[in-house]
């Protein structure tokens, strides 16, 4: 019998225990991979070269406080500002509360200049600009509800005291988020009878280099006014939403640490039982000439193989599963907009496999050391 065959026979000796341990490793590393992916999506918002040029101006106190629209003209005259648009979250209901998707009142003629990485049809944008009750919608939301250009929809106001009766004038594709709906800010102002206010202003800067100075100038411009501002990059703005949930990084990190620690205990327990059952066989191996390092190598190979197999099934199973699943379903819809995408990256898979490697080594150290130190005579006697 070859050495690999001998290791495999030992691993398959107790098939029930092998399957249960393998499932424990697989499911634990699957959960680890999914949690790390969720953490990455929440704490590292997707960014492109175009999105890096966008900055957001909001009220210094909170997002719930509105800014006067008169701020916009002063912002537009600030050096470094290429285009500035009003942005107000509507948060309306479409048929059912679970049918959530982002809705914003904007300056219709400027939206394509703000989101330059998205693909807008010029004719559809022109139709959107002309129709005060028109809207333009991301392709994922269009596909989700089966809408088409020309359809009429109604959004029931929850935050604002008005309902929007909109006509879809266009669809955009590409960019970071393909789920948004944009409508005329002025249309909402008329219906709600609350003109002259906006929750935010979104700016596209001339270049990355001017952004720090631009942020400073805007905030200084409105300092000590009745509506002071807080200006920040799009990335910083998105991260603030995550901070509202709490210390997500600490929470998920703690859960992952518990998973890894428990996994080491389970695997070490399995290896201890397996080696204890083979005390006599290990003594026989020593008696026929195997030294301590060779015995240790056999035990390590078995433990390492178990951990690597479980790691491969768990990590690559998570990668393939999310890829296959989200080809068919809209992650933004089922997560109520928390995740725009859910991508298991090679770095996360590599981290999971590294844990599997460490697990395979650490879990066998104590039982293997005990087996190596046991004398041949003692080993032969124990199971006689």
Confidence of residue 384 (pLDDT cuts 50, 70, 90): very low
Residues 221-241 have a mean pLDDT of: 84
- Predicted confidence (pLDDT) per residue in 40-63, tens digit: 777 666 666 777 889 999 998 888
d(C-alpha 320, C-alpha 360), whole Å? 23
Contact, 48 vs 176, CB < 8 A?
yes
Residues 126-150 have a mean pLDDT of: 92
d(C-alpha 267, C-alpha 28), whole Å? 12
d(C-alpha 55, C-alpha 235), whole Å? 9
- Predicted confidence (pLDDT) per residue in 165-202, tens digit: 999 999 999 876 888 999 999 999 888 877 788 999 99
| Residue 278: how many other CB atoms lie within 10 Å | 19
Global pTM? Answer: 0.67
Contact, 156 vs 163, CB < 8 A?
yes
d(C-alpha 358, C-alpha 258), whole Å? 15
d(C-alpha 73, C-alpha 196), whole Å? 12
- The answer to whether residue 5 scores a pLDDT higher than 80 is no
Measuring CA to CA, which residue among 226, 221, 176, 192 is closest to residue 51? 176
Query: Domain boundaries in the chain?
Result: 3-45+246-382, 61-227
d(C-alpha 63, C-alpha 65), whole Å? 5
d(C-alpha 197, C-alpha 64), whole Å? 12
């Amino acid at each position: 019998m070859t050495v690999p065959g001998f290791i495999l026979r030992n691993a398959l000796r107790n098939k029930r225990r092998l399957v249960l341990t393998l499932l424990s490793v697989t499911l634990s590393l699957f959960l680890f991979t999914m949690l790390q992916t969720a953490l990455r999506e929440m704490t590292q918002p997707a960014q492109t070269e175009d999105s890096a040029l966008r900055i957001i101006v909001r009220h210094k106190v909170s997002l719930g406080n509105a800014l006067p629209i008169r701020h916009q003209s002063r912002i537009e005259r600030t050096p470094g500002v290429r285009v500035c648009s009003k942005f107000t979250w509507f948060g309306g209901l479409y048929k059912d509360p679970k049918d959530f998707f982002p809705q914003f009142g904007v300056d219709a003629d400027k939206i394509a200049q703000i989101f330059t990485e998205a693909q807008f049809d010029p004719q559809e944008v022109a139709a959107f600009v002309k129709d005060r009750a028109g809207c333009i919608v991301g392709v994922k939301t269009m596909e989700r509800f089966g809408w088409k250009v020309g359809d009429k929809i109604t959004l029931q106001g929850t935050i604002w005291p008005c309902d929007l009766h909109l006509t879809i004038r266009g669809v955009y594709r590409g960019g970071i988020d393909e789920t948004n709906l944009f409508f005329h800010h002025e249309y909402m102002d008329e219906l709600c009878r609350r003109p002259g206010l906006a929750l935010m202003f979104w700016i596209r800067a001339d270049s990355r280099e001017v952004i720090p100075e631009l942020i400073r100038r805007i905030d200084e411009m409105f300092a000590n006014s009745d509506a002071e501002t807080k200006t920040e990059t799009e990335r910083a703005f998105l991260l603030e939403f995550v901070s509202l949930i709490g210390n997500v990084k600490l929470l998920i990190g703690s859960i992952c640490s518990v998973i890894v620690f428990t996994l080491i205990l389970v695997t070490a327990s399995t290896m201890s039982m397996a080696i204890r059952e083979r005390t006599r066989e290990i003594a026989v191996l020593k008696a026929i000439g195997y030294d301590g390092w060779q015995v240790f190598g056999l035990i390590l190979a078995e433990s390492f193989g178990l951990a690597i197999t479980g790691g491969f099934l768990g990590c690559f199973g998570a990668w393939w599963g999310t890829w296959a699943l989200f080809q068919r379903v809209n992650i933004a819809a089922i997560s109520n907009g928390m995740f725009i995408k859910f991508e298991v990256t090679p770095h996360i898979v590599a981290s999971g496999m590294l844990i599997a490697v460490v697990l395979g080594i650490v879990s066998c150290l104590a039982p293997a050391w005990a087996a190596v130190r046991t004398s041949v005579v003692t080993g032969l006697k124990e199971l006689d």
